[in-house]
Amino acid sequence: MNNALSRRRLRALLPIVVLLMGGCAATDTRDAADAGAASSPETFPMPREIEGNVAFWRKVYAHWSRGQVALHDDEHLALVYEVITLPGPIGPGYTREQRDLIRNRTGYLRARLKRLEARVAAGESLSTDERALLEVISTQAGPRALAGAHERLRVQRGISERFRRGLEISGRYEQAFRDIFRAAGLPEDLAYLPHVESSFQVSARSSAGAAGVWQFTRGTGKLYMNVNGAVDERLDPVIAAEGAARYLQDAYRRLGSWPLAVTSYNHGMGGMARAKGEFGNDLGRIVREYKGPLFGFASRNFYAEFLAAREIASNPRDFFAEHINYRKPLAEDRLILPHSLPVRRIANHYGLSSSRLAELNPAWRAPVRDGRVHLAAGSSLWLPQGTLVRVTSVPAPVPVLVAKADVPANAARRSRPSGTGGGGRLHVVKPNETLYEVALRYDLSVDKLRRLNRLSPRHTLIRPGQRLRVSI
C-alpha cells in the first residue's frame, strides 16, 4: 500500500462490492436438480439427419490428429473418401510438401468423382474401382449423392491434440460456467460450447473478428457486455460466459428450441428465425434443406459439433487413452467497483503490481493497464485468491457483500442495497440484469429469490424496470 495515502483517503478511493469466487455463485440442491432436468437428452436431441455429422466431428475432435487430413463430402459428412497422413514435421500450418500432397490427392479424387458421375449418367460400364467408389457413396450418402459430389469435396484436418488441451484448460472454468447457466435457469451443458468455439483458448480470435473463449463478435458483444476503448469483456471467460447466458436466454425465448438456439450462436437469431419460419423446429430438415443467406458449412454443422463436443467432454476416458490433467478450478476474488478508479490505486491498496493485476484481468485494454483511463463504475476486477481476507488493515468504506455461503460471518459484513416498499425491500431490475446477478447482489440463492417473488422454478427471464422483493 502507498504510505503517502492516508487511511481516510484510501476509504474515499476504494468503495467496493466484494464477490468471493469458489465457483461463481452459491446455489442450492433444488437449482441443481432443475438444471439437471434441463440437460436431459430431450433438451439436446440428435435428429436422425445429423447422426453422421456428429460421428464425423467425434473423429475430428478425438480420433484424427493434426497430422491427419480427411477428404470428405461437405453435405454428407459420413462420406469420408480418404484420410491422408501428412509427412512431418507437424505444425500449426502446412509445409509446402504437405500442401502439395493435399492438393494432389484432392485433385485426383475430384477428377475421379467427376468422371464417375459422367459415366453413370451416360450408362457406361464401370471399372471395379469405379463400382467400389459408387458403392461407398450410395451406402454412406444415398444414390443421389453422386450428383455434384466433385464440387462438394472438402478437406478437414484433425484437432484431437487441440481438443485434449482444451479439456485440460476447461478444468479452470467449467464449474464457474455451469454455475452461471444453472443460476440463469439454462441447461448446464451449454458450458461445453467453448470446446466448439475456441477450445478454451482465452486469446482466440477469428477472421470474422470474434474474440475470446466464447467467440463473441464485437457487435454482438456490445449487446451483452462492455466492449469499448477501456475494456473488452469478451476476453474475460467468466464475464463473457455471463454474456453468453444472456444471449442464449434471448435466443431460446425467441426460437423455443435448444437445437435452434445453439445454432443461432453461430448463425444469429434472425437467420434461425427465418429457418424456423420455413421448417419449424425440425433442425434435421433445416440442415438438409434450408438455403438461407450465409447458412453455410459452419452454421449447418454447429449443433452437430456441439453434440460431439458434449459427448467427448462428458466422457473423456471413452475417447482419450491418456489421463486428462485438468487445471484447478477458478478460485479468485472478484470485486465490482461502484466508483471509477485507476488501476494504480487499486494495486497499491492490495499490495499488488499493476502488471500482476493485468494478468488476472484479460479484459483490460492498454489505456486501463497503463493508467491513462480509469476503470469505470460497475467494472469487474479479479484479485488473487485470499487477497480480500489478507488485506484487513484498511477496511472497505462501505459494507461488503459476501457471495459465498461458506465464508464466515465475520470475514465481511453483509449489506443489502435496496429500494424500500411495503412488506420488504425491493430491487429495480436494470437492463441486461439476470436473476443470478440480482441474487448474488443480495446474498440470496436464485431459488430463494424466486420464492420471495412467487416465481416458478423454471422462471428465468426478468425485464428492466421490474421490481423484485429481496427481503421479507
pLDDT, one tens digit per residue, over 324-380 is 999 999 989 998 887 888 999 889 888 899 999 999 999 999 999 999 999 988 888
Mean pLDDT of the 232-257 span? 96
pLDDT at 269: 95
Task: Fill in the amino acid letter for 178.
Answer: R
Give the angle subtended at the CA of 471 by the CAs of 468 and 472, to the nearest 5°: 115
pLDDT at 459: 63
pLDDT at 185: 93
**Partners of 428 in the β-ladder:** 467
pLDDT tens-digit series, residues 142-197? 989 999 999 999 999 999 999 999 999 999 999 999 999 999 999 999 999 999 99
Cα–Cα distance measured from residue 235 to residue 232, given in angstroms and rounded to the nearest whole number: 6
pTM of the model: 0.78
Give the angle subtended at the CA of 311 by the CAs of 308 and 316, to the nearest 5°: 115
Q: Is 3 exposed, middle or buried (0-12, 13-18, 19+ CB in 10 A)?
A: exposed
CB 450 within 8 A of CB 422: no
Cα–Cα distance measured from residue 199 to residue 103, given in angstroms and rounded to the nearest whole number: 28
Give yes or no for residue 419 having a pLDDT over 60: no
Q: Is 316 exposed, middle or buried (0-12, 13-18, 19+ CB in 10 A)?
A: middle
- Under the banding of pLDDT at 50, 70 and 90, the label for residue 393 is very low
Which CATH entry fits the domain spanning 419-469: 3.60.20.10, 3.10.350.10, 3.10.129.10, 3.30.565.10? 3.10.350.10
Measured in Å, how far apart are the chain's first and last C-alpha atoms? 41
| Stated length of the chain | 472
Give yes or no for residue 465 having a pLDDT over 90: no
- Higher-confidence residue of 2 and 268: namely 268
Cα–Cα distance measured from residue 466 to residue 464, given in angstroms and rounded to the nearest whole number: 6
Which CATH entry fits the domain spanning 31-48+166-318: 3.90.1150.10, 2.20.25.90, 2.70.98.10, 1.10.530.10? 1.10.530.10
- The ranges assigned to domains in the chain are 7-22+331-411, 31-48+166-318, 65-158, 419-469
